[in-house]
Amino acid sequence: MSETVLRVPSGAPVRPVPAPPAGRPAVRLTRVSKWFGTAGRQTVLEDVSLTVRRGEFLCVLGASGCGKSTLLNLVAGLDRPSAGDIDVSGGRRPALMFQEHALFPWLTAGRNIELALRLRGVPRRERREEALRLLELVRLKGAYGKRIHELSGGMRQRVALARALAQDGDVLLMDEPFAALDAITRDVLHEELARIWSERGLSVVFVTHNVREAVRLGRRVVLLSSRPGRIVGEWSAGDAPEAALTATITDALRKEIRRHGRR
């Protein structure tokens, strides 16, 4: 695999990291805008052009209300852009993981995953085996028969991740999935997610308002402006020192928040 030398905004070179595979992008947004209403319409996203390469882990960062979740919903096909085009390669719909685990409490952990497999058309006789495999993948071996109330917050998010992976999309969309967790649990799940991304070769679009989280996880970090959301910054992270890059992006985010506050 070829390598790309990344540079932090200060220009200091960092260690080489594997370049994403060449070929057709996983996701391409071309001048996408989204607004609601007609008279006095409210523009949420404006003229967003963005390419997500195959196998890339992209973090989309921005203040609350800047249109991050709207962007994910458009890529997921849950809504349509008001203007512009969105192209998702491959025949499979992107998998989506929400901030709340949204697991069905009357089903066990395994049955929650099997439901996603059923909707995907996996034969009944194969669902249990696949659910067990996915639970083991997210380090929850033995949790198949556990009810949701028996699981900790971190374990519930692992089940939610396994259910998202059960959708078998080439693109995984994640909408602040760890925001409600404590710092230690969040750090553990960061490591698990990075491992799964690497093992499965997924293309991930991860939405967050946490700069440290974005720098830690993303190969690339994109910053959206305060509403309407436009791309106002982009950084390649790779193996760059987290502290320096976090400080740079935090400063850019604060400027956007101040700009929005003056309106």
Q: Which tens digits make up the pLDDT trace of 213-238?
A: 999 999 999 999 988 899 999 998 76
Rounded mean pLDDT, 155-173: 91
Considering only CA atoms, which of 113, 177, 180 is closest in space to residue 148? 113
> CATH fold of 24-94+169-263, please?
Rossmann fold (3.40.50)
Structure tokens of 191? 């490591």
Instruction: Answer yes or no: is pLDDT of 262 > 60.
Output: no
- Backbone conformation region of residue 53, classed left if phi is above 0, alpha if psi is from -120 to 50, else beta: beta
Reply yes or no on whether the pLDDT at 15 is more than 50: no
The model's pTM: 0.85
Question: Dihedrals φ, ψ of 28, to 5°?
Answer: -135, 125
- Running DSSP on this structure, what letter comes out for residue 151? S
What number is the average pLDDT over the span 7-18? 35
Domain boundaries, the chain: 24-94+169-263, 103-168
| The pLDDT of residue 62 is above 90 | no
